[in-house]
Amino acid sequence: MDKYDVAIVGSGACGGWACMALAQSGFKVVVLEAGSHIDTYKEFKHRWPYEMQFRGAGQPGFLRKYFKGSTEYNYRIMIDDRENPYTTAPDKPFAWRRSRVLGGRTLHWSRASDRFSDFDFKAASRDGFGEDWPISYADIAPYYDRVERFIGVSAAPAKLPQFPDGVFLPAMPLNCAESIFQAACRKIDFPSTPRRVAQLTRMWHNRPPCHYCGNCVNGCDVGAMFNTVVSTLPPALKTGNVTLLCDSVVSHVLTDSEKRARGIRYIERYSNKEVEIGALVVVLAGSSLENTRLLLNSEPGGLANSSGVLGQYLMDQVSGSGVSGFLPILKNAAIRNDDGKAGGLYIPNFTNIGVRPKPAKFIRGYAMSATGGAMGIPAFAPSLPGFGSDYKKRVKSLYPSFARVWLSGGEMLARKENYVELDPQVRDKWGIPVLKIHCTHCDNDRRLYEDFFERAQELFRAAHGEISDAKPFLSTPGSLIHEVGTCRMGNDSKTSVLNSFCQTHDVKNLFVFGGGCFVTTGDKHPTLTMMALTARGCDQLIDMAHKGDI
């Protein structure tokens, strides 16, 4: 049996960071990735809709059936539901969007990189619902610094206590529609700042700056947006300490008689052969829910689950339809490259943080985003009434004036009733039990969404926009792809699975990185916080190893 110092399961944002941090500290690391190793520089390129057989929509019915939530551009780096099913109760749908590929979802993420504040970490102390995180902003701030310095985040300081500033590369400028929305925000006293994105605005750690093609979520062709393959993996591999095992589907964390992790069992994706490897420390970083699934499958009742809370407190942030329409001042404007940075204007949360006199009808908060301009294919055109030459001219005239406001993320309350378990019957292609997901919205989630919808219209009106599409509906949980929780952190081993370093209370040499540890969703994008917690956990792991304490 091959033996390593550390076995890392997964190669996304957190697995990649852990791999780099631990390999650079001299550990012999093996990374197990369930998907393939692709060469992003070769695989990703600018692709025009008309270059694809089905103009981006895929063969009719195909993506809807097997690759839900993906497009013809990117489905090959998404998961195939035939091989990787999951189940839900019939009346409780959950959208679980996954990737199995080296780099995981970093290859096509939205790159939004926000810091949580103590308004997020200590929300329970303010309103009495749920639990505080076992860390405060001061604990994690140095790790935010470290991650931002490495991955490169283009942003502008906003000087808002609920949205802490960080170590920033120059922000990307706003386009015309975003400038108008920013002026509207000033008028109605909404805070706003360019969306903070892990996209380079200058050469950075041997990576070129963004060239504003707008192709980000289909994979960056030059590595100007952060992903594992171009960013954390090269320096990790350079150490000579890393063994990369792709197409390796992990089924179990192995333990010894003293309740210590001793290694990993995985299945070779194509040969179905079972293989065991030994490791002094096991790090799970295969996404929030895959980590939990693996713990549940490793031992009856779940490994590291003396608390019984493993699988509970599943969350996705609240999302739903936004408001779209046109900004009349931009009608007939000269066409510009408006969607090239694929960013927008960000409106950080301003509810329930003491800056508004009138208390909201719900607890916690949400953030909005706004953008507009000539956005590739004119999505508004099919529902624009009419036909003929006049219709064509109206589409052309409205094209640069299209605008939309959307819900970046609202806090979904952490509730025990939302949970995952192993499905007793269904197994994946490799015989591993799949997750059965139970998740619904609560009244607070719905009231929060309703408030967003009113505010979004208020912003649109302040920008003198003409609203053409405003039909409120709450999205299926999971749709925002910010699924977190199920392996929460806490100071009390009776009510949490992990300590604040993402180390399991029960098994000292087992760490779980990713969103699973989240105590609340907050209203920010989650990835930067997952990475900062990974960096902090790795420091702890290294420190303990040097002291011979692990």
Partner 1 sequence: MAVGAPSKMRRKITRRDAGWLIAQAAGVAGGADFFAKWTQGAKHDVHQEHAMHSTAPPDPHDWRSYRPQFFSGDEYRILDAFSAILIPSDDTPGAREAHVTAFIDFVVKAAAEYAPEMQDRWRKALGWLAEQNFGSLSAAEQTSLVQQMAAPEQDNSKKHPGYGTYRLIKDMVVHAFYTSRVGLVDVLEYKGLAYLTEFPACTHPEHHQV
Q: In the window 310-329, what residues touch partner 1 (CB under 8 A)?
A: 329
Residue 404: helix, strand or coil by DSSP? Answer: strand
Angle at 397 between CA 387 and CA 372, to 5 degrees: 115
Q: How far is the CB of 232 from partner 1 (least distance, A)?
A: 15
Task: DSSP letter for 401, please.
Answer: G
Q: What character string, x for contact with partner 1 (CB under 8 A) and - otherwise, covers 399-418?
A: x-------------------
Q: How far is the CB of 354 from partner 1 (least distance, A)?
A: 26
Selection from 209, 215, 212 nearest residue 45 by Cα = 215
Per CB under 8 A, 159 contacts partner 1: no
Rounded Cα–Cα distance for residues 201 and 350 (Å): 28
Per CB under 8 A, 395 contacts partner 1: yes
Give the residue with the Cβ less far from partner 1, 107 or 250: 107
Sole binder of partner 1 in the list 2, 51, 127, 454 (CB under 8 A): 51
335 to 354, contacts with partner 1 by CB under 8 A?
335-341
Q: How far is the CB of 64 from partner 1 (least distance, A)?
A: 8
Sole binder of partner 1 in the list 12, 56, 134, 514 (CB under 8 A): 56
Per CB under 8 A, 176 contacts partner 1: yes
Contact criterion met (CB below 8 Å) for 443 and 287:
no
Place of tokens 């975003």: 178
Kindly indicate which of the ranges 215-223, 263-271, 287-295, 297-305 contains the residues binding partner 1, using the contact rule CB under 8 A: 215-223
Rounded Cα–Cα distance for residues 440 and 419 (Å): 10
Dmax (CA) for the chain in angstroms is 77
Q: Which helix (H) or strand (E) holds 347?
A: strand 345-347
Give the residue with the Cβ less far from partner 1, 101 or 216: 216
Per CB under 8 A, 175 contacts partner 1: yes
Give the residue with the Cβ less far from partner 1, 309 or 327: 327
User: For partner 1, how many residues bind (rule: CB under 8 A)?
Assistant: 82
Q: How far is the CB of 175 from partner 1 (least distance, A)?
A: 6
Per CB under 8 A, 222 contacts partner 1: yes
Per CB under 8 A, 457 contacts partner 1: no
Angle at 342 between CA 338 and CA 347, to 5 degrees: 100
Give the residue with the Cβ less far from partner 1, 1 or 334: 334
Q: How far is the CB of 326 from partner 1 (least distance, A)?
A: 14
Sole binder of partner 1 in the list 2, 26, 59, 416 (CB under 8 A): 59
Per CB under 8 A, 235 contacts partner 1: no
Task: DSSP letter for 411, please.
Answer: P
Per CB under 8 A, 81 contacts partner 1: no
Residues 6+ apart with CB under 8 A from 315: 412, 413, 414, 418, 483, 484, 485, 518, 520, 521
Per CB under 8 A, 549 contacts partner 1: no
Q: How far is the CB of 373 from partner 1 (least distance, A)?
A: 9
For residue 495, how many other CB atoms are within 10 A of its CB? 12
3-state per-residue secondary structure call for 16-32: HHHHHHHHHCCCCEEEE
Kindly indicate which of the ranges 84-92, 123-131, 246-254, 381-389 contains the residues binding partner 1, using the contact rule CB under 8 A: 381-389
Sole binder of partner 1 in the list 3, 36, 46, 125 (CB under 8 A): 46
Angstrom CA distances, 381 to 55, 320, 331, stand at 16, 21, 14
Give the residue with the Cβ less far from partner 1, 60 or 128: 60
Per CB under 8 A, 149 contacts partner 1: yes
User: Order of strands, edge to edge, in the sheet holding 87-88?
Assistant: 87-88, 433-438, 419-427
Per CB under 8 A, 41 contacts partner 1: yes
Give the residue with the Cβ less far from partner 1, 232 or 298: 232
3-state per-residue secondary structure call for 463-525: CCCEEEECCCCECCCCCCCCCECCCCECCCCCCCCECCCCEECCCCCEEECCHHHCCCCCCCC
Give the residue with the Cβ less far from partner 1, 191 or 514: 191
184 to 213, contacts with partner 1 by CB under 8 A?
184, 187, 201-203, 206-213
Selection from 450, 382, 500, 532 nearest residue 131 by Cα = 500
Kindly indicate which of the ranges 40-48, 103-111, 309-317, 527-535 contains the residues binding partner 1, using the contact rule CB under 8 A: 40-48
